[in-house]
Each structure stands twice: as C-alpha cells, then as structure tokens.
C-alpha cells in the first residue's frame, strides 16, 4: 500500500501491485476495503474528500454506523503526510444532542468537503444535510467553520440554494413558463421530460431555494469557490458560486444537463479544462460513471464516455465517485466509495490514478491485485 501511494505521489511506475501491510488485503491499485488507520481502527470516512494544507493531507468523510444509515456521530477527520498512514483526528463536526437542532443526532450528513479560505483564515466545511426524521426530503446544504483544519467545526447554517433566484442559464422563455408540478404527476413521460428540461423543479423550488443533495466543492485558481450539487430531485446538476468567505452562495448559479440524473460529482482542472466525473442515480448500487468537460466552470459543458476502462468499468469497478485530489507533479487521484449498504461503516474505498489518453481524455484503469 505504502509503495502504491508513494508511487502516486512521486510518480515512478504506477502499475506495480503491492500487498498492504494490513494482513489479508490485496490492494493492487484499489485500496483495501476495511482500510485501517495507524492505530488499527477501520477508517470511517465515506463520501469524503481531502484538503491539502501546509504539507499535510486531511481526509474528511462521513462517519457511518455498522447498522442503519442515519448520522449518529458526524464528520470524521484523519491526517496524513503520505496519504497512506492515516492518523485519526477525531470528529471534525459533531451531531448535536439538542432536540430540534438542524444537525440533531439522527439527521443525515453526507459528502462533506472542506476548503481553506485564505482571506478569512477559516476552514470551511460544506455537506449534504437531511433533517432528522425526514428521510431525504430536506435536501439541504450545511456549512460549518473552524480555525484549524482538524476542527472542531462550528455549525453555521443549512438550507436550500439561492431562494428566489433563477439559474443564470435559464432562458427568459423558461422563466416565464411557470410550470406547475401538479400538471406533471407522472414521471418519465416525454411531456414530463420536456418540462424537467425547461425547469419544472426550478419553478417548484424557486421561493424556498433549490434542492442540494450529493455535492462537492471546488476552489479555482483565482480563489473563487463553487458548490456543485445534485438538484431538482437528483435530475439536474447545478453549480453555484460561493461568496468570498466561502460561507454562502453568491446568487450566481447554472443548471447542467437537465434530466441527466447525475450525482456524486467530483471535479478537477487540467491545462485549463474543467473535468467532472459523476455517477448515475442508483443509490448505493454502482453504475457506469459519466464524464463531462468545459472550458470554463460556467460551461458550455459537454459529455464524454466514461473514463473507466477494463473489466468492471461499466459499473465503475463497484465504486462511486466522491473526489479528485490534485497531487504534486500534476498527478490526479480519483477517490470513490465501495458502498456496503448492509453495513455502511465497512464500505471500502476505491482510489485510482487518472491518466490522459492521446485525445486528451482522462482514463482510469481498473484495480489490479
């Protein structure tokens, strides 16, 4: 394992397979499911992402219980200097024991991502939040901040995205259409699809704000940050610019691929091109990943075939995207989850290097053992 990660970092032969120090796990290019931290405990950091700050990596992810799926603990944090030996730093953001709190124990916190804001000196965490007892109906984004990377993070607020504001790329005609969901009760009909494309759910949610479920954050070279999330009943991705302190939405946002049913977004930039890897919407079950690119974060975005190649590529090797980490030397690491719905705590991790083919498209080859 260590050799694999060090190869990723320092760039010698990527394809060598290596056995983990952890007994019984053959890792090849896929990290062991049930991966352990340096104290021998399973790493419990699902749907997460990595912050690189002052020579250290900080991995934030969902703490998941052995049984069930609601959040009993919060967002976990681990630190490492080599991406291989992870030290448990504790719970970065805790659920609250206060009844009625937006983050009350029993809520659902998913897909946490942390970025550093140089202007305020704060670490800012965004995550998908579902309120206790409401299943996945709330579809909110939550924000928490800290003065140190490991936390504890202080919960600030949660909510839907940009209430009262239309997406920038919705045409005047679409804005005036004033579509009403009551007229489109039956899903997946051609009329319904057309209405979704025209912003059926944008209209429905305009006053209260757009839904926000699976999500990631992206900080661009100019310091602007973006929240990228599955919206409109998971049918449409949206990208929303954040305010300069990264703690709110600025009001500027766009819709991507209306009705495309994309989730689990992971974004990166290479040589001026923005790339995004997503999954389809099949819950915990793996599906074929999707790939998009654009010359600007604001688009135009276009779709490409899945970047995954080899046996099992049509199911993303059993995984689902969560983050792409930029490593020194222009290297890129794809991070995914190998969900185990019967015991989410023991869901595994799929970390694979991203290479680029002759046509300039990203390629992610299958794990080897």
Q: Which of 364, 360, 354 is nearest to 316 (CA)?
A: 364
State the minimum distance, in angstroms, from the CB of residue 210 to ligand GAL. 17
If the CB atoms of residues 174 and 263 are measured against ligand GAL, the closer one turns out to be 263
Of the residues 90, 133, 283, 305, which one makes contact with ligand GAL according to CB under 6 A: 283
The residue among 283 and 310 lying less far from ligand GAL, judged by its C-beta, is 283
Q: Is 111 in the site for ligand GAL (CB under 6 A)?
A: yes
Reduced DSSP (H G I as helix, E B as strand, rest coil) percent helix, strand, coil of the chain, to 5: 10, 40, 50
Which of 192, 284, 298, 346 lies at the binding interface for ligand GAL (CB under 6 A)? 284
Which strands sit side by side in the sheet containing 290-294, from one edge to the other? 263-270, 273-279, 290-294, 302-304
From 260, 258, 268, 262, select the one nearest 294 (Cα to Cα). 268
Residue closer to ligand GAL, measured from CB, 68 or 283: 283
Contact between 76 and 45 under an 8 Å Cβ cutoff? The reply is yes
- Contact between 130 and ligand GAL per CB under 6 A: no
Annotate each residue in 4-43 with x if it binds ligand GAL (CB under 6 A) or - if it does not, as one string.
----------------------------------------
> DSSP per residue over 110-145, as a string?
EEEEEEEETTTTEEEEEEEEE-TTSTT-S-EEEEEE
CB of 280 to ligand GAL, least distance (A): 9
Number of helices followed by number of strands (H, E) in the chain:
4, 21
Please tell me the distance from the alpha carbon of residue 129 to that of residue 127, in angstroms, as a whole number: 6
Minimum CB separation of residue 284 from ligand GAL in Å reads 6
Interface positions, 297-326, toward ligand GAL (CB under 6 A): 320
Q: How far is the CB of 80 from ligand GAL (least distance, A)?
A: 24
| Binding-residue total with ligand GAL (CB under 6 A) | 10
- Phi-psi category of 50—alpha, beta or left, where left has phi over 0 and alpha has psi -120 to 50? beta
Closest CB to ligand GAL among residues 84, 109: 109
Please tell me whether residue 110 binds ligand GAL under the rule CB under 6 A. yes
* Region 229-268 residues binding ligand GAL, contact defined as CB under 6 A: 263-264
Span interacting with ligand GAL, options 24-32, 248-256, 276-284, 345-353, rule CB under 6 A = 276-284
Closest by Cα among 349, 328, 324, 118 to 228: 324
Query: Could you check whether the bond before residue 152 is cis, i.e. omega within 30 degrees of 0?
Result: yes
Helix (H, G, I), strand (E, B) or coil at 88: strand
Q: How far is the CB of 213 from ligand GAL (least distance, A)?
A: 6
CB distance 347 to 46 below 8 Å: yes
Looking at beta carbons only, is 133 or 283 nearer to ligand GAL? Answer: 283
Nearer to ligand GAL, 236 or 320 (CB): 320
Q: Output DSSP code: residue 18.
A: -
Q: Smallest distance from the beta carbon of 272 to ligand GAL, in angstroms?
A: 29
Return the residues of window 188-217 that contact ligand GAL according to CB under 6 A: 214
Minimum distance, C-beta of residue 121 to ligand GAL, in the bound complex (Å): 30
Backbone angles phi, psi at 8, to 5 degrees: -60, -45
Our finding on whether 89 is near ligand GAL (CB under 6 A) is no
What is the rounded CA–CA span in Å between residue 18 and residue 334?
Answer: 18
Taking CB positions, which residue lies at the least distance from ligand GAL?
A: 283
Cα three-residue angle 277-188-135, rounded to 5 degrees: 65
Choose the binding region for ligand GAL from 187-195, 281-289, 309-317, 324-332 (rule: CB under 6 A): 281-289
Choose between 113 and 203: whose C-beta lies nearer to ligand GAL. Answer: 113
Taking the complex as a whole, the smallest distance from the CB of residue 40 to ligand GAL amounts, in Å, to 27
Beta-bridge partner residues of 279:
263
Tell me if 290 sits within 8 A of 262, measured CB to CB: yes
Q: Identify which of 177, 71, 223, 46 has the alpha carbon closest to the alpha carbon of residue 133.
A: 71
Which range, of 158-166, 253-261, 280-288, 355-363, touches ligand GAL by CB under 6 A? 280-288
Positions in the binding site for ligand GAL (CB under 6 A): 47, 110-111, 214, 263-264, 281, 283-284, 320
């Amino acid at each position: 394992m260590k050799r694999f990660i060090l190869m990723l970092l320092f760039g010698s032969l990527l394809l060598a397979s290596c056995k983990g120090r952890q007994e019984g796990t053959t890792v090849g290019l896929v990290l062991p499911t049930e991966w352990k931290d340096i104290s021998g405990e399973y790493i419990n950091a699902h749907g997460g992402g990595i912050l690189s700050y002052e020579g250290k990596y900080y991995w934030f992810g969902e703490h998941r219980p052995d049984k069930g799926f609601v959040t009993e603990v919060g967002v976990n944090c681990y630190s490492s200097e080599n991406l291989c030996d992870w030290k448990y730093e504790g719970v970065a953001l805790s659920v609250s024991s206060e009844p009625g709190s937006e983050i009350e124990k029993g809520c659902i916190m998913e897909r946490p991502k942390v970025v550093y804001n140089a202007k305020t000196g704060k670490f800012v965490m965004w995550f998908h939040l579902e309120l206790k007892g409401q299943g996945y109906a709330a579809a909110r984004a939550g924000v928490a901040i800290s003065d140190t990377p490991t936390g504890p993070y202080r919960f600030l607020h949660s909510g839907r995205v940009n209430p009262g504001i239309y997406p920038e790329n919705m045409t005047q005609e679409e804005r005036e259409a004033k579509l009403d969901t009551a007229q489109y009760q039956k899903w997946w009909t051609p009329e319904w699809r057309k209405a979704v494309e025209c912003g059926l759910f944008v209209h429905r949610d305009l006053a209260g704000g757009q839904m926000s479920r699976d999500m990631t954050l992206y900080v661009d070279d100019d310091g602007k940050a973006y929240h990228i999330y599955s919206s409109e009943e998971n049918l449409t991705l949206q990208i929303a610019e954040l305010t300069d302190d990264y703690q709110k939405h600025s009001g500027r946002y766009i819709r991507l691929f209306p009705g495309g049913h994309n989730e689990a977004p992971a974004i990166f930039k290479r040589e001026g091109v923005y790339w995004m890897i997503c999954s389809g919407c099949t819950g915990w079950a793996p599906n074929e990943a999707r790939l998009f690119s654009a010359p600007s974060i604001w688009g135009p975005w276009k779709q490409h075939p899945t970047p995954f190649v080899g046996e099992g590529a049509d199911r993303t090797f059993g995984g689902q995207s969560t983050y792409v980490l930029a490593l020194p030397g222009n290297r890129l690491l794809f991070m995914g989850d190998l969900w185990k719905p019967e015991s989410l705590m023991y869901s595994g991790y799929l970390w694979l290097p991203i290479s680029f083919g002759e046509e300039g498209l990203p390629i992610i080859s299958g794990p080897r053992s």
